[in-house]
Structure 1
Amino acid sequence: MGDYSQCIQYKYKNDFCIKCLQKDEDKKSLQQQLPRIAALATGGTIAGETDPTELTGPYRSGVLSIEQLLAAVPMLSKVARIRAEQVANIDSKDMTNDLWGKLVIHVNELLASPEVDGIVITHGTDTLEETAYFLNLLVKSKKPVVLTAAMRPATAVSADGPLNLLEAVVVAGSKASEEQGVLVVMNDEIFSAHDVTKMNTYSVGSFQASEFGALGWIHENQVHFERSLVGTHFNTTHSRFSIEKMCKLPQVEIAMSYAEASRTSIDAFVANGAKGIVIVGTGDGTLHKVLQQAAIDAVRQGVAIVRSYRVSYGHVSHEKLDDEADFLTAGTLNAWKARVLLMLILAEGINDHAERQYIFDHY
């Protein structure tokens, strides 16, 4: 009988190689099934760096690159195929209208591509809710757009950024997130750009949505929505606004009512060329009588006035004074989001008072 040992050894070795190749092919197939996410970085605490001797601060925002942020979360490769871009690297307190404009144009371009299934934007917490709401009014796609951030810098003990980033990518890659408008993912929760606001100076759970509550949550990389915004005006695909119609955003300022308030701020804003002013009122958006008269005078000079509130819950009621003085009311929008909406209303040349109020009531 012949010696078949070499043949047997070759057969087993060959079978092993075939199995290895099959596994590699299976991995490639699984990888190709993962959602394609564009990750855009703008800076913020999530890209911050602390002094080596400090636990969480002081720190410098916008230091680490998007590549460094992604490298810190190896699990990302198992949930999505990611392409990364560094759009900016700033402290979000320094956000500008120009950067907003560039961001929304680029986001719309990316979403128009069949090679992109969703977008994640890393951002600073200070103005995240303003950027999210701006995008919510101007993005034209049913595909998910998710903003995330961190309350602790990337090099801090127990940094919250890595998990927030992972969960934001998971939400952006989920079919359940489509047609929900722009979303914010923080601390295992999913929020609407319309509702969310920063409520705390240091807590990782600082982002909340007042009486609206979160839309849903993420657990073990599974996305759960408890309520839906599909088909509502909060859905970006239904927004009447278009960045293409806007050459430049008009100057809109924010004033505040308080005990012994003066008219100095409103008069100065008007003199400096403001086209609109949002006033943070007391209680139900009420204005000190001196400030109220300044606002009435501003309207007579062609300046749009919006009453908002300085409390955390509720909405601003539309009253007889508003009709008499041609004031707009912000509804449930806080002052900084009301400013964003007023800028877009003015930029599109919407001059009818009733139409402006309708927009505030529905957006």
Structure 2
Amino acid sequence: MKKTLTSLAMALTLLSPTALFAKNNVVVVATGGTIAGAGASSTNSATYTAAKVPVNVLLDAVPQVQQLANVSGVQALQIASESITDKELIQLARQINELVKKPDVNGIVVTHGTDTMEETAFFLNLVVHTDKPIVLVGSMRPGTALSADGPLNLYNAVALASSDSAKGKGTLVMMNDDIFAARDVTKTINIHTNAFSSPWGALGSVVEGKAYWFRDVSKLHNNSSEFNIENIKGDALPLVQIVYGSDNMLAQSYLALQQAGVKAIIHAGTGNGSVANYLVPTLTKIQQDGIQIVRSSRVPQGFVLRNAEQPDDKYGWVVAHDLNPQKARLLTALALTKTKDAKELQRMFYEY
């Protein structure tokens, strides 16, 4: 018996650390974007065609991910992300929802175009009930470019999705070594690899395949969310649109959206979500007609204060708090599937 135990101990010392533990299973859900793009030459880093490379080729190009986890891939979409609509968002969320229900799936990576990656991440953050990591990743340069950032971004995303430390932290975005929360990450640069940031900072970083954490998200997400993709019927959400604030605005912009049948309008105002005095009569009339007005801001940092600049309580308007206009659109659309009450909508903006 003693000899048998000694032989077993010696055999174990010859195994690599990864051989001693079963690897987690990660599914890469591909949707297209720059990370699946191709340029005419290696010097084309900004001019290229997105959504060209299928998921199997994408994974074969980074074989190192198989050292991190048992990685498989599915092709959910093959599209440039600026062309994604609510229909595709709902379709993708349903597919991911079914994947995370499987006991042998430990984490999800979604490869995605960077233009609307923050919207997709936030939507999944709100409607997929799971504590399993869901990590969105993209690239700013196609795989054919010199110094392409996609391969390392994908490697880091798989490392993050396979890490038990990422469980329960909400839907995440992995870009340029940084881990971001889906609710507050945004694309701030359109040509450099450090394109994503958050006004409240990154959650952490991935270095050489290991996640390091520095803060958590205090807002409701995934399992704690009152929204659920399983409760969304059909392939559309209540129609919500954005009007961008500036000087010299036209009331007709809001009236045209009213005629188009919107259920709410996000006013991406200047400063503190400001509304020009000559627009107030139009917006109050639209509100009285049953279309919700949500004051957001075109300013990338800070948050909109209620009853500052405009008497929101008097008008029955909602403020988007720190959510940017594009995320305010999504939360408003989901909120309208449950209620039209302005006070309830305002609660949701503070809690999510």
> TM-score, normalization: structure 1?
0.90
Q: 1:328 aligns with which of 295, 318, 322?
A: 318
Paired residues for 1:18-29 under 5 Å: none
CA separation of 1:265/1:67 partners in 2, compared to 1, >3 Å: closer, same or farther?
same
2:75 is aligned to: 86
CA separation of 1:361/1:29 partners in 2, compared to 1, >3 Å: closer, same or farther?
closer
Structure 1 gap segments, 5+ residues each: 1-21
Larger radius of gyration: 1
CA separation of 1:125/1:317 partners in 2, compared to 1, >3 Å: closer, same or farther?
same
Q: 1:316 aligns with which of 298, 301, 304?
A: 304
1:243 is aligned to: 229
Residue identity opposite 1:321 in structure 2: P
Q: 1:133 aligns with which of 122, 133, 136?
A: 122
In 2, Cα distance between the equivalents of 1:301 and 1:359? Answer: 22
Q: 1:306 aligns with which of 273, 294, 299?
A: 294
CA separation of 1:56/1:274 partners in 2, compared to 1, >3 Å: closer, same or farther?
same
In 2, Cα distance between the equivalents of 1:278 and 1:176? Answer: 36
1:154 is aligned to: 143
The alignment partner of 2:311 has SS state of: helix
2:262 is aligned to: 274
1:10 is aligned to: none
Deviation at 1:336, TM superposition (A): 0.2
Q: 1:293 aligns with which of 269, 281, 305?
A: 281
Contact 2:46–2:191 (8 Å) recurs in 1: no
In 1, Cα distance between the equivalents of 2:95 and 2:170? Answer: 17
Q: 2:205 aligns with which of 204, 217, 225?
A: 217
- Larger fraction in helix: 1
- When the two structures are aligned, how many residues end up with a matched partner? 339
Larger CA deviation: 163-172 vs 284-293: 284-293
Q: 2:246 aligns with which of 250, 253, 258?
A: 258
Residue identity opposite 1:301 in structure 2: D
The alignment partner of 2:336 has SS state of: helix
Q: CA offsets per residue over residues 67-88 of structure 1, 9 Å max, x none?
A: 1111111211110101100101
Deviation at 1:295, TM superposition (A): 1.3
CA separation of 1:53/1:154 partners in 2, compared to 1, >3 Å: closer, same or farther?
closer
In 1, Cα distance between the equivalents of 2:17 and 2:104? Answer: 17
Larger CA deviation: 29-38 vs 185-194: 29-38
Residue identity opposite 2:76 in structure 1: V
Contact 2:292–2:342 (8 Å) recurs in 1: no
In 2, Cα distance between the equivalents of 1:234 and 1:347? Answer: 18
Deviation at 1:53, TM superposition (A): 6.4
> TM-score, normalization: structure 2?
0.92
2:7 is aligned to: none
Deviation at 1:260, TM superposition (A): 1.1
Contact 1:262–1:290 (8 Å) recurs in 2: no
Residue identity opposite 1:246 in structure 2: I
Residue identity opposite 1:203 in structure 2: H
In 1, Cα distance between the equivalents of 2:258 and 2:32? Answer: 33
In 2, Cα distance between the equivalents of 1:249 and 1:271? Answer: 18
Q: CA offsets per residue over residues 284-311 of structure 1, 9 Å max, x none?
A: 0001123222211110110011000011
Q: CA RMSD in A?
A: 2.0
Deviation at 1:54, TM superposition (A): 3.6
Q: CA offsets per residue over residues 161-193 of structure 1, 9 Å max, x none?
A: 000000000000111101100000000000000
Q: Percent identity?
A: 38
Contact 1:257–1:291 (8 Å) recurs in 2: no
